[in-house]
């Protein structure tokens, strides 16, 4: 599997967790050909589990109700319309007749697990509701639930590998329930969800197939839990931001559902600017230019710069100007660049990144993310993190060209998966007898990336989707959040994407930006987690009833 896809897969597994995609969950009807092995439970999907709790946020005690369950969606709007509240075909429908006569040819369905938190006693129409998901593709949403915005959080101090179990789960002072009710959704084939029916993977594992499934989930959820009149938000991380762009467009243009806001964490829309494998797309130098500020931030953090500046932000401003000026001009010349010019640029890149000028020359001034991660701290026999470059770990193969794993994923993933399995069963009282799939390798490997919707066969770029959603609803607000130490989805690449959306300046003014001294999973650093909560809560509170 390509490194890019594993990143995305795990992304949100950590948002991207390691370089291994995910294991798969289970199936439903034995007579139908399932995309997963069968879950060990007599009744699937199981009924909702309802529990109660309380959390303190900024001194405010909030009592909440938690609902853990599974909603079933069809692979098309027509099939979905024939499903009843329990996910089974309604009597008398064509879908019911097909499943009754020939279950093996039953149309594909996705059973999507979720956890829904709402403030107890509040009038629901007055409360915003935020639909939250990680990315991958192929990741569950355990990371955002237990890391960022749920009422409990995993304790991950520092930037080193956590000690082994027992791990610590604690009340989350950055829970988002002070601003919104929350629905954490696991993508098709992850969490406690399953896929059933003929060719189910093909029906749900792709850029637009996935977004359609989430759109149907949201529609069904709004009806089942009486939330149609609530202010509505999308919040996705990593590939979840890719999903949000397409999903927002589907909801606004196809489902006639206006959104109040879209919150993007660690954004990636245009995969042709991905720094993981830029050499696979020769002639496109944008990935190198957009990653350079993150290289500089990383070298600054590890104190590997030849002349170490005291402060990060002035350095980044200087590097951003160089990246889109002299560096871009040098790369544009290609083989017309003289040896003297090349050496001059290499020396400057050495000053900004800590990598030797001779290495930059050998690399033709083009260093990929995996090469940077392997090389920056090679003298210390350390590999630099990808999701969060503040993390380091022992180098697996000193002779390798690229990093062979992600130290940040290795450092924290076990804690998240272990604690969620304990939390969901002991606290939420859900999932007994079921297997929770944090990452789904099949989904990641079989993902259908190329999108022809806007005539772009060369690579996935969903910028037009978000642009169309914002033009259809010119009051839609967008909030962009990124970490300076994120080399999976560099912050400067996100800013570049959004500044080049095909929208008017008046619509572009609806986008706000927030950057943090953290990595891909912004909330892993305690100070950044608090800052992220405050910014997202303020964004929701400023847009939930705008104009009323």
Both 152 and 38 in one domain: the answer is yes
Please tell me the predicted confidence (pLDDT) of residue 112: 97
Pairing of strands 109-119, 60-74: antiparallel
Q: Is residue 487 part of a domain?
A: yes
Q: Of the candidates 165, 143, 177, which has an alpha carbon nearest to the alpha carbon of residue 64? A: 177
Q: Is residue 114 part of a domain?
A: yes
Q: Where are the beta strands (DSSP E) in 311-363?
A: none
Please tell me the predicted confidence (pLDDT) of residue 12: 36
Please tell me the predicted confidence (pLDDT) of residue 42: 58
Residues 178 and 186: their CA atoms lie apart, in Å, by 23
Please tell me the predicted confidence (pLDDT) of residue 200: 93
Please tell me the predicted confidence (pLDDT) of residue 399: 80
Q: How far is CA 401 from the centre of its chain?
A: 27
Please tell me the predicted confidence (pLDDT) of residue 451: 54
| Structure token digits, residue 461 | 């770029």
Residue 18 dihedral angles phi and psi, to the nearest 5°: -85, -140
Residue-wise pLDDT tens digits, 326-380: 999 999 999 999 999 999 999 999 999 999 999 999 999 999 999 999 999 999 9
Residue-wise pLDDT tens digits, 527-543: 999 999 999 999 999 99
Domain that holds residue 301: 283-408
CB 302 within 8 A of CB 377: yes
CB 30 within 8 A of CB 44: no
Task: Judge if pTM exceeds 0.75.
Answer: yes
Both 169 and 317 in one domain: the answer is no
Q: Of the candidates 229, 245, 232, 237, which has an alpha carbon nearest to the alpha carbon of residue 183? A: 232
Q: Is residue 18 part of a domain?
A: yes
Both 332 and 200 in one domain: the answer is no
Whose structure tokens read 């037009």?
Answer: 464
In the predicted model, residues of the chain with pLDDT beneath 50 are 1-38, 40-41, 456-457, 547
Say which DSSP state 149 is in: I
Q: Is residue 278 part of a domain?
A: no
Residues 398 and 248: their CA atoms lie apart, in Å, by 45
Both 477 and 530 in one domain: the answer is yes
Both 216 and 358 in one domain: the answer is no
Both 208 and 334 in one domain: the answer is no
How many structural domains compose the chain? 2
Both 161 and 21 in one domain: the answer is yes
């Amino acid at each position: 599997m390509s490194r890019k896809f594993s990143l995305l897969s795990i992304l949100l597994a950590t948002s991207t967790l390691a370089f291994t995609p995910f294991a798969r969950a289970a199936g439903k009807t034995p007579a139908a050909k399932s995309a997963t092995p069968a879950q060990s439970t007599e009744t699937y999907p199981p009924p909702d589990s309802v529990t109660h709790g309380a959390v303190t946020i900024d001194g405010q005690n909030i009592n909440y109700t938690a609902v853990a369950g599974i909603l079933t969606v069809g692979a098309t709007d027509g099939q979905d319309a024939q499903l009843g509240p329990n996910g089974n075909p309604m009597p008398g429908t064509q879908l019911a007749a097909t499943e009754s006569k020939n279950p093996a040819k039953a149309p594909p369905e996705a059973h999507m697990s979720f956890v829904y938190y709402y403030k107890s006693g509040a009038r629901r129409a007055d409360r915003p509701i935020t639909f939250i998901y990680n990315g991958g593709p192929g990741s569950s949403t355990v990371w955002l639930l237990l890391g960022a915005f749920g009422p409990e959080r995993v304790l991950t101090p520092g930037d080193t590998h956590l000690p082994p179990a027992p791990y610590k789960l604690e009340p989350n002072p950055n829970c988002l329930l002070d601003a919104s009710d929350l629905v954490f959704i696991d993508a098709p084939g992850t969490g406690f969800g399953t896929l059933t029916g003929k060719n189910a993977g093909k029906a749900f594992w792709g850029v637009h197939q996935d977004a359609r499934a989430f759109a149907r989930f949201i529609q069904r959820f709004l009806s089942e839990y009486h939330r149609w009149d609530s202010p509505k938000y999308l919040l996705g991380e990593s590939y979840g931001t890719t999903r949000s762009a397409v999903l927002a467009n589907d909801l606004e243009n196809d489902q006639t559902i206006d959104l109040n806001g879209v919150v993007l964490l660690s954004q990636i829309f245009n995969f042709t600017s991905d720094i993981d494998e830029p050499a696979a797309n020769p002639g496109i130098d944008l990935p190198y230019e957009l990653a350079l500020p993150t290289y500089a931030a990383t070298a600054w953090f590890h104190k590997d710069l030849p002349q170490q500046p005291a402060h990060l932000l002035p350095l980044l401003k200087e590097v951003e100007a160089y990246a889109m000026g002299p560096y871009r001009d040098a790369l544009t010349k290609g083989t017309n660049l003289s040896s003297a010019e090349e050496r001059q640029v290499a020396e400057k890149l050495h000053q900004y990144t800590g990598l030797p000028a001779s290495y930059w020359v050998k690399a033709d001034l083009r260093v990929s993310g995996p090469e940077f991660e392997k090389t920056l701290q090679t003298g210390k026999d350390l590999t630099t993190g990808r999701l969060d470059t503040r993390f380091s770990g022992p180098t697996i193969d000193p002779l390798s060209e690229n990093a062979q794993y992600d130290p940040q994923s290795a450092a924290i993933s076990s804690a998240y998966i272990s604690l969620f399995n304990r939390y969901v069963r002991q606290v939420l009282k859900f999932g007994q007898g079921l297997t929770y799939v944090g990452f789904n390798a099949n989904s990641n490997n079989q993902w259908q990336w190329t999108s022809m919707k806007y005539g772009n066969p060369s690579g996935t770029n969903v910028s037009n989707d978000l642009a169309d959603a914002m033009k259809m609803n010119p009051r839609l607000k967008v909030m962009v959040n990124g970490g300076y130490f994120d080399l999976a989805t560099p912050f400067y690449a996100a800013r570049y994407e959004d500044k080049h959306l095909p929208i008017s300046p008046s619509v572009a003014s609806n986008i706000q930006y927030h950057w943090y001294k953290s990595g891909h999973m912004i909330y892993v650093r305690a100070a950044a987690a608090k800052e992220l909560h405050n910014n997202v809560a303020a964004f929701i509170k400023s847009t939930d009833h705008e104009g009323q």
